[in-house]
Structures are given as C-alpha cells and as structure tokens.
Structure 1
C-alpha cells in the first residue's frame, strides 16, 4: 500500500472492513476490531500531508482512536469477568515495575481505571475531537469570547 491514498482507495478499505466484520452492533469484539482497523486506516490516509513541514492530524487521530479503543476493550474485559473483575488484588501505592507495554500480569480493575486516565492525559478526547473537527473537517470552532486573551485577563 502506498503512503498516498485516494478517497476511492479508502472507500475500498472500508468496504473490505465491513465485509469482514459483520454486524458490529451484535458483538463487542467485532465492534472493537472494526473500530481499531478503521482508526489505523484513517491514520494511514493522513500520512500523505506529512512531508510538507506541517504536522498532520495523524497524532491526534492515533491518540483518540487508541485511547477510545483501549477504554472500550477494558470495559468489555470487565463485562466478561463479571463482579470478580472489579476486585483489586492489592492497594499498594507504588508504580508497577513493568515498562509501558510490557508483558506481565495486570488486573482488570487497574486496566479499566488506567484506560480512563489515558483519555485525559496528553489532551482529552473531547479536545482532540474539537481539533480534528476544526482543522481536518473544517467545521466551525467554538464561540470563544476570550480567544486571544491572556489567561490573567480572563474574567473569573
């Protein structure tokens, strides 16, 4: 696949995804898989604007789709485990020795709570949606009477 993609190429990818992921609404696993695949396809399409010295929307899209996917997957994990998934094995207030993305045991409750934090750090999901809507889709921005005003001058 080339780094530059046309709308027709994207349509073809989406059609293939829909064909291989039957009604996503009926199976959470299928929905999660289709959503993740669609997010990766979107990031790949956005890569063609990257060579012009301006950052493209890929980082925002990847962060938004990744954290939302993680949040849904963690919620699905708790659903699968039932009441036992909410149990926390210990209450130590120390950082785990595992590196980010490392292999090792993680409890479902910690995974669920961590997935919520991921949607906040590095730019909230709502702010990223606003950025993508304004800068990528060309939607009008929020009406802000304090845009361009230093924080110290904003009435509180």
Structure 2
C-alpha cells in the first residue's frame, strides 16, 4: 500500500500554529479548530478572528472523568505542540463511499481545520486534514502496512480530496 508521510508538512503547520498562538496580531483573520485525541484524552484548541473580534475556547476531556473541562490556552497549545513534535505522521482521507472509520486510542491523532490570512498577504491559506502521529518512519510504515484497520490513508502528495485537503 502506498502511504504518504507528513512530517515535513506538520513541521510547517507547527510553525504557523505557534506563530498564531504567540503573535495573533500578525494575522488579519483566522479560524483554527484542532481536536487532539491521545490516550483517550481529548484536547480542543479553537480560536477565530473575524471583523476584528477574536473568540477562543480551549478545553479538555480526560479519559478518567469523561467530562469536559476548561483549559488554559498554554496547556492546550502545549499538548498539541507535543503531538506535532512526534517523528512521523500519516494523513487520512475521506471518501464519499466509505463510512467514517475511527482511529484506535492507541494512536494519537489530530484533526486540523485552519484558515488564515496574514496581514499584508493577498490570499487566504486553508487546510483540513486528519493526522495520526507515530514515533518514527518505521512505526508509521508498520501501521500503514497493517491490515488490522479500515482507515483509508492519503497515498500521494499534495493531497486534495472531496472533504480533506492540504494547504490551498
């Protein structure tokens, strides 16, 4: 099975994510929603600026309690940044004729919906992707070659599907 690796893509995404987190004033407008699920724990980082108004929400749902709790921006950023620091990633693709599969809890995974325009730039950039994180290339390849899952993985880059897509 062909599988595309995304460590380089995540490195770029991580850089823009960190810049937005630390210097939102550099962005004219943005909409970012990140859901990270790792070891059964959910972390959500959501922020949006439109018409000069910024709205943000950061929360987590620990596996132990199952109830959502507010988090600080720094804690949510830190959790997602740690995920982005893993060694390798594969991306999932959504197909119209395939039921939406779920990723097992043993694999940390993250959905990213990000649109932004920096000040002085003429165009928006946008991405909507789902990534599974691994320690290294060998772990990612072993997962991709395994028949124990029903996940449909992006096999070539740049990926652009009906629902999910790399930077546009």
TM-score, structure 2 as length reference: 0.24
Report which of the two has the higher share of helix: 1
TM-score, structure 1 as length reference: 0.25
Larger Rg: 1
Report which of the two has the higher share of strand: 2
